[in-house]
A and B are shown apart, each in its own frame.
Chain A
Amino acid sequence: MLMLVIQKELRDILTSTKFIVSFASCSLLILLAFVMGAAGYRTEVARVDAARRENLKQMEGQTDWMMVRNNRIFLPPQPLAALVTGVADDIGRTMDVRGRGEIPQEDTRYGEEPVFAMFRFLDLEFIFQVVLSLFAIVFAFDAVSGEKERGTLRLSFANPLPRSTFMAGKLAGSFLALAVPLLLPILIGCAVFTWMGVPLSSDEWMRLALIIGAGLLYFGAFLTIGITISAVTARSSTSFLALLVIWILSVLIIPRSAILIAGRAVDVPSLDDINAKKFRYAEQLFAEDRTAMSAFSPAEKSDPRKMIEEFQKFMGNVNDARERKMDDFSSRLNEERANAQQVQSAVALGIARISPATCFTLAASALAGTSLALQDRYLAQAKGYQETFAKFILGKTGVNPGGGMVFRMRVGDGAQEKPIDTHELPVFEYRPPVLGDVLPAALPDAGILAACIFLFFGIAHAAFRRYDLR
């Protein structure tokens, strides 16, 4: 009996004009998202390569590694970020790495090109979150109430059909009829994505598959909610209105309002204040250093070269001590802020998770590596690179200049100094997260979506028991 109901549902949906038109539009949009994502990815890769080249160019012609005091690193575009933008465009992509100390981060995509902030991107996550949920509602709203209006509900129950079988068949059939065909444009999109030259590792393919899985869960959630609402209303126009309101609230309103209201309720120390404190402390330390430098007296007063060497060592120690103090001070302030941000994130996102749209966005962006964790990840890897860079410069010059003053002596003996080989410089390779890293973050949100489906599945059954079939 269940199979029959499912078959009926499949036929009902797949042969309707509504399905053909909606499915065609959804497929087109999905393909468009893949195509534009791939094109955008390639443009960004070209831009980062150009920036890297320019960065190395400044160092060419230098004859002393001691003059290489910093190296600019860039966050390269990630293939999955082209499909699930997350916060990748809100994070500074350029970091100015010195031998030690804080790493200034700049150049967010949206800050650099505000026109993209105005309209933003058509990525797969947007299609899933907004269009697919609408698609689900358009089919679910008259699942039960529409059949009642058309009279076919009565006819079905003229047979010995248990109500629970009907409801289960409805849910399963609708999901099969709507979600499975969507896999087709998604697979074509993946093929086009690769064909357009976007390299995806096997780990990234796995993550993409899970993102699509999360999308289908999200779709299922809206479908289940839709059918449930349809099973509590007598007229399909009422159920449609109710579902539209639910859609608007879930997808457009709740995520934004929850985060804005709850997020602002938590007190996070402002970055301006912290930066001002750091600046003042740095000034203080520099003033102390200047006094120390005035008091310097070399042991060997006759040989200029030896004096300079001694001075360099002295400067090295002074820099070391100052940077250590600065590091301690900064990390204390930074930690305070990070802790407050954790609390803020937990509260705001926790409340926002009422909406399935939030859960989907969080799960998808976690899997794609473009969630809020991206910022921490990039910063941590930049710090790791800082150590590599510092060790390299130390090895080449014996000093870690950091942010302090560099004293260089040029021997005027006319000898042609050999320019440094910029290719010796260690290269920053950003390591995207692997599945094992992101799964723990994504699983809870996917779990909420699954729980939502189960919950409304149960409610649909319960509500339908008391439904007037005539």
Chain B
Amino acid sequence: MFGTVLVKELKAVLLTPKFPATFAVCSILIVLSVFIGIREYRTAAARYTEGVDLAAQTLRTQSTWMNLSTTAYRKPDPMQVFVPGVTGDVGRLSSVNSTEDVKLRNSAYGDDPIFALFRSIDFAFIVQVVLSLFAILFTYDAINGEREGGTLQLTFAGAVPRPTYILAKLAGAWTALVVPLLVPVLLGLLLVMVYGVPLGSEGWARCAMFMLASLLYFTFFIALGVLISALTRSPATSFLGALAAWVVLVLIVPRIAVMAAGAAHPVPSIAETEGWIDAFAKDRWDQQMKTLSTRWQARQASMEGMSTGEREAYQQSKQQEWANDDDASRQEVQKDIDAYRVRVNEEQANRVAAQEGLAFALARVSPAAAYQIASMRLGGTGVEMKALNESAMRDYRRAFTQYTAGKQKESGTQGGFRITVDSQTGFHFSAPRERGTLDVSDVPVFRPPSKRFGEDTASALVDTGIIAVLVLLSCAGAFVAFMRYDVR
């Protein structure tokens, strides 16, 4: 009985005129989205390679160790092909030097705002918006359409148990919609392989999980359509209801959730937090200036009463010691400022995490949001990407500044320049001896943060689990609703 109803349902879906049309559209869109995804990834990867090369070149042309500055680039992830997430919105690079803090700037959309107008078309988007709509299109009249056509009555004139029928309906609709779509999906995966996107074994594992999440998401909307169909008498009503449910779940809830979280949990802007850090830094440097000037006066006083020759000799002997003292106190100030900055950044990160947590919690009511969160997590292109990269870049900055400080000590020059103005000796200006270009062959290179497969999978599992629960609830709901359905 189950088999017969299943086959009937398959025919009911596959042999309608609407099936070839929608299947064609979906297939074209799936393949198009993967194709565009591949091209976008390659553009991003090319930019990354170009940037890293440029940074290496620029490093070689600098002439002093003290102000040595380089750029660290965020590496694009091959999973971007399927789910670019927020890669276009988060900065791609950060300056790395001894004076500035790490900050990701120059996002792809910031540099070229024309692409920000409508953003990207990717596989995750097609699944989330288009495929869900088509799932509803096929199942909204699964039950009540048959009732209106009179065939439901006919079916139940025979000895068909209701549970069997509804299960077969669900299974049939699912098989009829999922199996044909495997073709364009496999085609897309083939494209990925042909174009040589370097997914790697971990990438393919993530891709598999992503496909599973997509499948579950699609199944939810199939079940939702059948559920709504089993709750209403006429297809016209169920169609409107299903469409409204789609608009609310896919388009409205995620946006409202994030706006509500933003209003409930406002976070100070980066401009403000940088202002705090700058104010603290200014105060500290002011203190330092005062200390230096008192020290300078003490040194001048120690030379009181010496002749010009004695003074010069004394200065010469004390030069290194004074320079070291000045450098030490300068470094202490820098350390204080850095410690303060670390604290402010940590607090800010906590606030942002709280806001994001709230936004996600509110949004997860909608399977579309859960799917988006899961897919971005698996793709490594979600909100955590920024923090991960910035923290890796900060580690790199530490290594880099240690390296430059070491090289500076080695070369003996104190960097910068020294200006002395004396009423007796006049004006003196000295700049460090230029030794041509520096030997930066052993400079530490920024290594992109390693992806955390376990954590990402675990987190994605939570959201996929939410979708799975929703699928079960809808199926159960359809079940229950159909039990009490008047088939006449």
Listed in ascending order, the chain A residues whose CB lies under 8 Å from chain B are 17-18, 21-22, 25, 29, 32, 36, 39-40, 43, 46-48, 50-51, 53-55, 57-58, 61, 72, 74, 86-87, 90-94, 106-108, 110-122, 126, 130-131, 134, 138, 237-238, 241, 244-245, 248, 252-253, 255-257, 259-261, 263-264, 268, 270-273, 276, 279-280, 283, 287, 290-291, 293-294, 296-298, 301-304, 307-308, 311, 341, 344-345, 348-349, 352, 358, 361, 365, 372, 375, 407, 409-410, 412
Contacts and interface: CB of A to CB of B under 8 A. Distances in A.
Given A47-B272, A260-B40, A283 B62 contact: yes
Contact of A293 (B93, B356, B426, B429): B429
Given A112-B269, A256-B121, A121 B255 contact: yes
A283 B61 contact: yes
A50 B121 CA distance: 37
B262 A54 contact: no
A150 to B, nearest CB: 11
A59 to B, nearest CB: 8
Given A18-B236, A51-B269, A90-B110, A294 B430 contact: yes
A395 B36 CA distance: 55
Contacts of B257: 119
Given A108-B110, A361-B117, A372-B114, A117 B431 contact: no
Task: Tell me if A's interface is mostly helix, strand, loop or mixed.
Answer: helix
B152 interface: no
A276 B18 contact: no
12 contacts: A39-B259, A47-B271, A58-B282, A86-B117, A93-B271, A110-B89, A111-B105, A134-B243, A252-B129, A261-B36, A271-B111, A272-B54
B258 interface: yes
Contacts of A51: 269, 271-272, 275
B188 interface: no
B262 A40 contact: yes
A283 B258 CA distance: 44
B212 interface: no
Nearest to B28: A253
Contacts of A344: 114
Nearest to A287: B63
Q: Which of B58, B252, B417 has the most CB of A within 10 A?
A: B252
A290 B417 contact: yes
Contacts of B429: 293-294, 296
B271 A114 contact: no
Contacts of A352: 118
A245 B25 contact: yes
Contacts of A106: 103, 105
A91 B110 contact: yes
A54 B279 contact: yes
A113 B267 contact: yes
Given A118-B382, A256-B120, A287-B434, A276 B54 contact: yes
B220 to A, nearest CB: 19
B50 A272 contact: yes
Nearest to A235: B17
A119 B363 contact: yes
Contacts of B269: 47-48, 50-51, 107, 112
Given A90-B110, A111-B89, A260-B40, A303 B423 contact: yes
